[in-house]
Structure 1
């Protein structure tokens, strides 16, 4: 059991096969969904800490206790220490931005996967006979299309986001406009994903849908199977996948499928806070957005973890 958990952790962090532990840890991989989810969680925690007073003060005292214990032991005024509230806030803010930038490299070419999925689904001759399922499939296509547009628009601003002197391609004004447009695409993708998931949950509970039809969910981590790779509707940045796998002995296929859909629905709803707050459509401050981002990161990371566990078991 311990060996399997370790192999699952390695696959979660590297997306590498389990042929050898040393080889897995040293492999340079393209898709590291687990690492991206962990970075997203760290970014959300930093945003939450810097937005609320008491978590921020607790972090400040912890930093002082570690790096300048004399400021605490001698009951000195915090303002007289080298580390004060203003400098700590700038550090947290800068670290949060760096984590966000690092995550963008993981999803740089995800728009290709999103558009490829839409193209394959549109070209498929097989159409669901159930009218509700057919309608849900169209909403899924709409969500993936807007998700691909979000990823493509975000990728166009990556060079400018590096903030290298003389390397800006768009300029600050155009970059700002594209960021807003990207948030609009993402918001529509998330809302479409929520509608599709609600209808799919309704059909599953009514037993109108066959079990196992839920596509992968939010921002960045696509659901992987031996035959296909699906872009999630972060439902792209991130929100992300519905966990699959066989239900347990005490759990029927319907309840198992409903549980996957509820997890996906919760992740999508939490992710709506991010573009919604930027566009002014969701009245949420930075701290609330950070908490929502923590929840969605955990939910989608669990999906990646479950998928890695299935792949580890299949490789044995």
Structure 2
């Protein structure tokens, strides 16, 4: 089994299963050159170009496994070092699987660890990917097996990311505050005004008491509207924040779910056409790029 790359599968799947982009490229090349190239030669050139780009990308992420392992270790240490209150005010370290540790935290730790294993195994086959005679780390059959195991670790990492995203979405929706009814504010304001009016001395007479009640009644609608408006703004702001968070988590979950198609097919757990996998990777690229674009927009707007 070949050591598939995400963008290799994207290019190969779309070009081999969907001929429209390939035919369009041939037509553009025909317009730009005097002699129209043959489809076979153009396809060979594109495949060679794809391999060069894939190899360049692998060199760029050659030591990325160190970042993944470091992130997993930092997350684990920060979780384990956070102590909980024990009997007598003593500090008790958190235990693995304890009820005070969220499940998505462990999913993040395992996901980053699996991703580090994927990148490490992939880095071990980069010398073989150069295809230089007499220069290889693994035997051909062993190299293919290592590549498959790398894809398997990537699949585990994607599943952990998918489950962690779903858990966070459920938590955001489950802990959404329930808005209070406006009658509670109205009832509280009326009761307060009655208490103030009833606490006046009796020697001031009915006229003074009536004037006080009239003033309180005039102030009540304005105060009530102000309290209700503040509460409404707070609820609206919280609702928008939850919607933005759920939208971002949903995009991440969808991207992870679509990414599973590539390693799942590489290890033989999914039976998908090459073109289907290529389209899935194309959609994933759009979702990931859109998430990065929105995050940059929030950072820029926050600095203003």
Q: TM-score range by the shorter chain?
A: 0.5 to 0.7
Residues 95-149 of structure 1: per-residue CA shift (max 9 Å, x gap): 2222222211222111111111111122122279995961121112111111110
Structure 2 partner of 1:126: 82
Q: Is the 8 A contact 1:136 1:199 kept in 2?
A: yes
Structure 2 partner of 1:232: none
1:131-210 residue pairs with structure 2 within 5 A? 131=99, 134-207=102-175
Q: Distance in 2 between matches of 1:127 and 1:147?
A: 28
Corresponding pairs, count: 228
Q: Distance in 2 between matches of 1:263 and 1:133?
A: 25
Residue 259 (str. 1) matches residue 213 (str. 2): no
Residue 54 (str. 1) matches residue 42 (str. 2): no
Larger relative CO (CA 8 A, sep 6+): 1 or 2?
2
Question: Any unmatched runs of 5+ in structure 2?
Answer: 85-93, 178-235
Residue 301 (str. 1) matches residue 283 (str. 2): no
Q: Distance in 2 between matches of 1:290 and 1:44?
A: 4
Larger radius of gyration: 2
Q: Distance in 1 between matches of 2:142 and 2:176?
A: 47
- TM-score normalised by length of structure 2: 0.66
Residues 10-51 of structure 1: per-residue CA shift (max 9 Å, x gap): xxxxxxxxxxxxxxxxxxxxxxxxxxxxx9769735641333
Change in Cα spacing, 1:121 to 1:182, as seen in structure 2 (3 Å) is same
Residues 195-253 of structure 1: per-residue CA shift (max 9 Å, x gap): 111111111111279xxxxxxxxxxxxxxxxxxxxxxxxxxxxxxxxxxxxxx979622
Q: Distance in 2 between matches of 1:250 and 1:42?
A: 42
SS in 1 for 2:136: coil
SS in 1 for 2:260: helix
Residue 292 (str. 1) matches residue 258 (str. 2): no
- TM-score normalised by length of structure 1: 0.63
Which one of the candidate residues 47, 57, 60 is aligned to 1:93?
Answer: 47
Change in Cα spacing, 1:40 to 1:176, as seen in structure 2 (3 Å) is closer
1:278-289 residue pairs with structure 2 within 5 A? 278-289=266-277
Structure 1 partner of 2:32: 66
1:177-256 residue pairs with structure 2 within 5 A? 177-207=145-175, 252-256=240-244
Alpha-carbon RMSD across the aligned residues, in angstroms, is 3.1
